[in-house]
Structure 1
């Protein structure tokens, strides 16, 4: 199936003339046409523009002037700005007709590399949920492995599209797990790069953009393009190696974390899959040692309060008629912030730095840390979070949140499956700036792990 080919496979086929970018775009559009009625992954499709771009790409291949990702179909999450494109951030509170007036750095890099943007993917209100539930869309995004379940979020549509074979490359964003959670629940590879590795606009603490793909090789291809400089992001890193580096498993020191210190307990099937992955690395010569919890309830609650205040300020500034359109769960979540004083908010903000220091110190003795992506597999699609409780919204992100605050690279990759056939995500966290290393260990895991189930195309 052409739509299910990886980016590297497509580029090879274009190079030898077996396929053209037009073939790929037509195949992806057809696959989306077959599955979209049940998945709700897309909020916009740009078929004619994509086909025109595919014809231009085909001409470059024939002329021998192809670009790095020339002709490879890619989707962008709705909060990645493209000039003139709808920019409603997943919420009905944004007015009809709202469009972006700038091009976000990740969108610009992909365009410059010849990737073909053919669709935008759905997300929850303001990207504040780990599901696809949204006030803007009639139905939440669904998980291709079981359409009764969520693909995760906030990069919900991107993950659903990737797992359902809507082409090889999908761009998400992550501030507490919004790439890795859907990657884990959909059996994908999802990379949260080191902060600043992929320039982004608008930016704020912990926010990154990164790939959602079906293979580590495709994530690496995409990252190499995304990690180009852009002065609009003052946190950008100096250019550095991002391709998977040579990695010797023998003697590698791996930390194994199964207790985050707060949040929901890891379910037995999830724990078993992560332990099995650790044992496989151990049998290949790595040294695996337990890593104790390094975060606390105080840390989690403080960051929660800070985020509530940040969102409450934005939402409370809306006109009443627009504010009323925000998803009720989000309104209930931000409501307590109206009573916070300055000291409460400052103490919450200070927990971000406390978590940064704790995560880096805990991980320093190890080359990499292994953990679950989430304590549980995917949950019902109409729930905002596994507990669906705005008073306890983040009990499932205890393993993913630390690397956002610590700025470490973290990769989600499939570890195995539950008895019901749902993917279980393994998280690989590296030292700051070692994006090449987490990709390399992910590629090693692809070789070590048992055979994977067929994709739910």
Structure 2
């Protein structure tokens, strides 16, 4: 039998149903596994074993009565730092936060509790979620389990690392420009950014989504069954819709005749590494051999769009920093302070023009995608970079050069996923992004599941360092 930390959510539920495993046994094994990994990985925040074991005991009792309380009863889960959990502080990855316990669960946390999931821990993130790395002024620097010298990506840094390292099967991240998909790509796991509003969040914000990070598409689909339940706190929430998430496994039946766009040049940002390009092209050929048509696509994101979004976010962050007293502001990660404070000289006209680039990106993305059924591309132009760097460029004036493939789909509200499609010569994972039309969340999961069946076997999951 596989080690308990290698079992997916459905396998655990089947074992609970047969009484061949108990939630308490699984939680205890995972806590031990995390204890071995965590001194090197720094993926966990608020790791509280007694709380986890108490929830696992309650789940075990329900299963023994034959009365599980929900579809994830007893399944271990982690939740990103910035998703509030009742009774816990929400530091947002920054030492500038005042650590006040939350009075409520944010929608994703509430849905998981109602479904019976067992909270292993929260997961780490960079300051305010504004980096694609695990560098934080509050948390220890998160690292990539495939190579501890590399970062896991971000801002769902701890979630991506935890999924690859086997901190249980289910992890929740958030994504406003790639923060689920980038760590999924660099950690070799599956990450799904739903259509905006599909998974309710609080507070809502343009382009910001919560979604699953898992080792398999099936586990992400199981998680969506819970996360996509409505919540009135999200003013951008979609109307309730009955989605047959179990139909994610029917992707192979849909491939014949599909038009799949292949985007190998984002239009700006970092150049695509040759090994990344080759892996994505190989993935496209697998889809083509299975009956899909591959349509080469021209880039639509321009430098003005990417810089405009960057400059608006700088001004937003500067306004947030100015709400802090000098002492708290000084505790923010210097890279983030430098980035935000660079907006101090922006004119009102400049900021207005920058703000319009979100809509320009949306219009261009929808127009480009209207010609195909789905879009295939690299998730990121490079593989994982040094753990100590806040961004691949290490330049706060060029901070977003790595998100040109991911951010358009946040602005267009379209669902997009990252799935591992290979490794580079150093053994670092490469991610394939699959994006669909707005609201076609199930279709993206179906294509991703089909690719799981089409791709060649990947390397074994990383094991914790032995001393």
Task: Give a deviation string over 1:255-283, Cα, whole Å, max 9, x none.
Answer: 00001111011000000000000001001
- Please state how far the C-alpha of 1:289 moved relative to its aligned partner: 0.8
- Identify the match of residue 104 of structure 2 among 74, 97, 102: 102
Give the corresponding residue for 1:249. 255
- Identify the match of residue 75 of structure 1 among 64, 74, 78: 78
Task: Give a deviation string over 1:322-380, Cα, whole Å, max 9, x none.
Answer: 10110000011011211222221111111101111111110112111000000000000
- Identify the match of residue 322 of structure 2 among 316, 323, 326: 316
> TM-score, normalized by length of structure 2?
0.96
Superposition pairs of residues 56-135 of structure 1, within 5 angstroms: 56-66=58-68, 67-95=70-98, 97-135=99-137
- Identify the match of residue 385 of structure 1 among 391, 410, 414: 391
Structure 2 residues without counterparts, runs of 5 or longer? none
Task: Give a deviation string over 1:386-432, Cα, whole Å, max 9, x none.
Answer: 11100100000000000000000001000100011110000000000
- 2:178 maps to 1:172: no
- Identify the match of residue 355 of structure 2 among 332, 349, 370: 349
- 2:281 maps to 1:275: yes
Query: What is the distance in 2 between the residues matched to 1:94 and 1:173?
Result: 19
- Please state how far the C-alpha of 1:27 moved relative to its aligned partner: 1.1
- Please state how far the C-alpha of 1:242 moved relative to its aligned partner: 5.4
Give the corresponding residue for 1:155. 156
Superposition pairs of residues 284-433 of structure 1, within 5 angstroms: 284-433=290-439
233-242 vs 353-362, which moves further: 233-242
Give the corresponding residue for 1:221. 222
- Please state how far the C-alpha of 1:136 moved relative to its aligned partner: 0.9
Give the corresponding residue for 1:136. 138
Closer/same/farther in 2, CA of residues 307 and 65 from structure 1, 3 Å limit:
same
- Please state how far the C-alpha of 1:306 moved relative to its aligned partner: 0.6
Query: What is the distance in 2 between the residues matched to 1:57 and 1:6?
Result: 17
3-state SS in 2 of match to 1:171: strand
C-alpha root-mean-square deviation of aligned residues, in Å? Answer: 0.9
Query: What is the distance in 2 between the residues matched to 1:113 and 1:46?
Result: 20
- Please state how far the C-alpha of 1:23 moved relative to its aligned partner: 1.0
Query: What is the distance in 2 between the residues matched to 1:132 and 1:413?
Result: 20
- Please state how far the C-alpha of 1:239 moved relative to its aligned partner: 2.3
Give the corresponding residue for 2:265. 259
Give the corresponding residue for 2:201. 200
Task: Give a deviation string over 1:175-212, Cα, whole Å, max 9, x none.
Answer: 00000000000000000000000000011110010000
Give the corresponding residue for 1:232. 233
Task: Give a deviation string over 1:287-320, Cα, whole Å, max 9, x none.
Answer: 0010110110000111111100110000121100
3-state SS in 1 of match to 2:21: coil
- Please state how far the C-alpha of 1:24 moved relative to its aligned partner: 1.0
Give the corresponding residue for 1:2. 4
3-state SS in 2 of match to 1:183: helix
Query: What is the distance in 1 between the residues matched to 2:223 and 2:291?
Result: 30
Number of positions where the alignment pairs a residue of Structure 1 with one of Structure 2: 455
Query: What is the distance in 2 between the residues matched to 1:208 and 1:103?
Result: 16
3-state SS in 2 of match to 1:311: helix
Query: What is the distance in 2 between the residues matched to 1:361 and 1:299?
Result: 15
- Please state how far the C-alpha of 1:56 moved relative to its aligned partner: 1.1
Task: Give a deviation string over 1:95-123, Cα, whole Å, max 9, x none.
Answer: 3x322232100000000000011201110
Moved over 4 A (4+): none
The answer (yes or no) to whether the contact 1:220–1:242 under 8 Å persists in 2 is no
Query: What is the distance in 2 between the residues matched to 1:140 and 1:203?
Result: 27
- Please state how far the C-alpha of 1:2 moved relative to its aligned partner: 0.4
3-state SS in 2 of match to 1:45: coil
Query: What is the distance in 1 between the residues matched to 2:100 and 2:161?
Result: 25
The answer (yes or no) to whether the contact 1:260–1:398 under 8 Å persists in 2 is yes
3-state SS in 1 of match to 2:45: strand
Query: What is the distance in 1 between the residues matched to 2:333 and 2:399?
Result: 14
The answer (yes or no) to whether the contact 1:223–1:242 under 8 Å persists in 2 is no
Query: What is the distance in 1 between the residues matched to 2:101 and 2:393?
Result: 34
- Please state how far the C-alpha of 1:58 moved relative to its aligned partner: 1.1
Query: What is the distance in 2 between the residues matched to 1:322 and 1:4?
Result: 41
- Please state how far the C-alpha of 1:83 moved relative to its aligned partner: 1.8
3-state SS in 1 of match to 2:46: strand
Give the corresponding residue for 2:147. 146
